[in-house]
Structure 1
């Protein structure tokens, strides 16, 4: 059973991505925009921006995987203490298309979290988005916006968690891969892994 401190610890300890979150965004964001602007302050800056946008849009199209609408079934990640955290979800809509991804959570269907012998429920009502580019075996994900709310529910008690915290843990960020097998899709980024199935609707 989760203790008072355990719920938040469970969320923050599940993926090792938490340790690299603060380091990853600064490397990604500055690398794209600043160089183009500082190197070409005159009209050439417009020409430099256009190719960058075109590459991002065309690369995912050639990949073919991931693409389309999916239903997430669960995720797995390794915690900072080397323990394996698993989550089971039942109503999470995931969309990949035009170089963008979106995870939409239904608050009426909480995710069941398991970390070692501890379990708890994470009720998420919101979404997080991002972008991706590259081939299936070498895809780069960039976390975007996160909106909504989230809270842990354990033994009748609940604790609020910001959607930004959830996104830092569960939103794909960094270099990873996408494996399509029939109607199944597996997204792996560092220690984070999402399992999804094609949405038949």
Structure 2
């Protein structure tokens, strides 16, 4: 039986960082969908960056359209380059692919314990008993508990497709598939983060 170890950090806020290559397709989709789901909760900071991003670019038009269809807001988004400082400051790093995870962790090795691919984190969260998360009324403690539980399950839960394929310069169907994959992977983690115990 696994046992989740607590995750260190400040209990007043929680920073989620999404990572892809150019920060104009997958990670902005994930960032804005997560912001939409978490609402205006001041405890959560949700951002994104790209391992090879050009600073200041807008989301691609196809990504914007997919995001709007999924209920997110693309307004005001601009890309930025991933740095070791961004990784170090994040309480949870979620990447589009295993390669992105490796690149992010290479810049700040302690992040290995809190970095997952988006699809991997979704699969691990589905295996976490909901009561272990919902029992925490405070949203930050709930988030830290979820990361600890996911970390404890790593290697015990099979993840068939850990990567979200890059839709850049491909068809709108590729963008829709990426958007659906991201939304599907984030559905359970976001539900666990936004539902607390009423007892």
Q: Is the shorter-chain TM-score for this pair beyond 0.5, marking a shared fold?
A: no
> Greater share of strand residues, 1 or 2?
1
> Greater share of helix residues, 1 or 2?
2
TM-score (norm 1): 0.24
Give the greater-gyration-radius structure (CA).
1
TM-score (norm 2): 0.24
